[in-house]
Amino acid sequence: MSDGPRYICCKCNVRYKKISALRSHQRECGVGAECPVCHRRVTQKRNLPKHMEKHKRDGSWMDEDNMKDLKMFS
């Protein structure tokens, strides 16, 4: 048997070595989320905090409307 990925998401064809990783992925596959600062859509909701780090570093989240939305990512 090959050592490569053998579990494949039927929605997006992403491959995983472990069934547990695939199941975790499938819970959010296609759910997505929109950034409250730049309105970019990330493909999985769990990736939004990582995307928000970019705005924290470059200061683009510093207006009052965005401050309320970003408290959940602090």
- pLDDT (tens digit, 9 = 90+) per residue, 33-55? 899 888 998 888 888 899 988 88
Question: Three-state SS for 8?
Answer: strand
- Strand pairing report for 7-8 and 15-16: antiparallel
* Predicted local confidence at residue 66, as pLDDT: 57
Ranges of beta strands (E only) in the chain are 7-8, 15-16, 33-34, 41-42
43 vs 56: CA distance, rounded Å: 20
Label residue 56 exposed, middle or buried (CB < 10 Å: 0-12, 13-18, 19+): middle
Q: What is the mean pLDDT of the chain?
A: 81
* Predicted local confidence at residue 28, as pLDDT: 84
- This prediction's pTM: 0.53
Res. 30 pLDDT band, cuts 50 70 90 = confident
Mean pLDDT of the 46-74 span: 72
33 vs 13: CA distance, rounded Å: 20
* Predicted local confidence at residue 10, as pLDDT: 92
The domains of the chain are located at 1-30, 33-73
